[in-house]
Amino acid sequence: MVDESNLKYWHDAGHVARRTLEAMREEITAGKTWHSVIESAERFIRRNGGKPAFPVTIAVDNLAAHYTTDHGLNAPEGWERDMVFQNGDLVKLDVGVHINGHIGDNALSLEIGNKGKYTEQINAARESRDAAIEMLHPGTPWYKVGAAAAQPTIDAGFQPIRNLCGHQLKPWELHAGVSVPSYACGPDNPGFKGVVEEGSVYAIEPFNTTGDSGLIKNIGERNSSNIYRITSKGLWRKALSRKQLKPLGAQLARNLEERYSTLPFAERWAFPMLEKPFPEADEESRLSKWNALVKKLISIRFLETYHALGCHDGGMIGQFEHTVMVNSGGPEILTVE
């Protein structure tokens, strides 16, 4: 249940998240780089009283989610042109904001230029989100929410993505246990048991595709998203006492924990931490030290990382998302102007 004393944090985070998304809509134009929009969005969040709940992510065409730029501006594996927006691109922008750990998470899809090739798909994704939200009354079984989300997509001739879900939100927890289906999973699916709960907060984010599989796949190495998350605070202390971690590694782990707690962070945010302990190191040496540190912190289960995600069979992906609080009378959308 949401603590009523923290309602303002939830509302303010949702408000800043929505304002950021709408401001960036105007910046996603042909000729702009992905990185410039990502950095602009993160600056906007901070200027307006929030902090990023996760790195701003951009996914173009058949890319689905979980990609942010790294400090070296390396493209996702398999992406064969510059990370510059072009007319006709189908762009998904996902923005999360936290205020004292309380999270607003929202996303949109848009087509650059006026070709109108993806208008029906974009509209279907938006309608799927809204249909799912209408079902968020206390006691509604999750399979009914999934079926509602799927119908507008299917009616428009697209496939709902079945292996990407919405999720419950709690303070400092972006994915807080409950998964929200966006397809007709049926009442007996073990992954979506239970019902919508009053006083809970959920991110509702149906994805659709022009492909036939209705599935997404991992792209590249397991850290291809350039996004990391601390799994459990304080694990670095145990690793240090057991001599699994050197003092410098422990200090860097502590700095990460103090800055980001248990919310996801970007490689490009954290990489500059190596400048102070290694002022004379060149880029190659510093990158080697970063990779060794990350490998060690993953091995002791202090850090986890994520794959970038794309459509399994190359279809174009659409997505919309709102953060919703469930009250006794039904859904309250938090990511609104």
**pLDDT at residue 319 in the model:** 98
Give the domain extent around 263. Answer: 227-305
DSSP-assigned beta bridge partners for residue 167: 179, 203
CA distances for 180 relative to 15, 33, 115, angstroms? 22, 32, 33
Q: Which residues contact 246 (CB under 8 A, 6 or more apart)?
A: none
Residues 6+ away with beta carbon under 8 Å from 71: 267, 268, 271, 272
Same domain assignment for residues 170 and 94 = yes
Same domain, 95 and 239: no
> Are both 208 and 315 inside the same structural domain?
yes
Q: Residue 109 sits in a domain of what CATH number?
A: 3.90.230.10
Q: What is the pLDDT of residue 310?
A: 98
Tokens 């510093």, located at residue: 286
| pLDDT attached to residue 115 | 84
**Count: domains in the chain:** 2
How many Å apart are CA 225 and CA 37, to the nearest integer?
Answer: 17
Same domain for 326 and 197: yes
Q: Which two tokens stand for residue 264?
A: 């996801």
**Do 287 and 323 fall into the same domain?**
no
pLDDT, tens digit only, all 337 positions of the chain: 677 778 999 999 999 999 999 999 999 999 999 999 999 999 999 999 999 999 999 999 999 999 999 999 999 999 999 999 999 999 999 999 999 999 999 999 999 998 899 999 999 999 999 999 999 999 999 999 999 999 999 999 999 999 999 999 999 999 998 999 999 999 999 999 999 999 999 999 999 999 999 999 999 999 999 999 999 999 999 989 999 999 989 999 999 999 999 999 999 999 999 998 899 999 999 999 999 999 999 999 999 999 999 999 999 999 999 999 999 999 999 999 7
Would you say 182 and 207 are in contact if contact means Cβ atoms under 8 Å apart?
yes
- 78 and 50: one domain? yes
Closest listed residue to residue 56, CA positions, set 43, 73, 72, 74: 43
pLDDT at 177: 87
Q: Are 37 and 269 in contact (CB under 8 A)?
A: no
Tell whether 131 and 90 lie within a shared domain.
yes
Same domain, 218 and 239: no
Residues 324 and 278 in one domain: no
**168 and 236 fall within a common domain:** no
Domain check: are 53 and 193 in the same one? Answer: yes
Provide the β-strand partners of residue 104: 97
pLDDT at residue 93, rounded to an integer = 98
Encode the chain in three state secondary structure: CCCHHHHHHHHHHHHHHHHHHHHHHCCCCCCCEHHHHHHHHHHHHHHCCCEECCCCEEEECCEEECCCCCCCCCCCCCCCCCCECCCCCEEEEEEEEEECCEEEEEEEEEECCCCCCCHHHHHHHHHHHHHHHHCCCCCCEHHHHHHHHHHHHHHCCCEECCCCCEEEEECCECCCCCEECCCCCCCCCHHHCCECCCCCEEEECCEEECCCCCCEEEECCCCCCCEEEECCCCHHHHHHHCCCCCHHHHHHHHHHHHHHCCCCEEHHHHHHHHCCCCCCCCHHHHHHHHHHHHHHHHHCCCEEECCEEEECCCCCEEECEEEEEEECCEEEECCCC
Is residue 169 located within the same domain as residue 81?
yes
CB 63 within 8 A of CB 317: yes
Cβ-based neighbours of 217, under 8 Å, separated by 6 or more: 309, 310, 311, 312
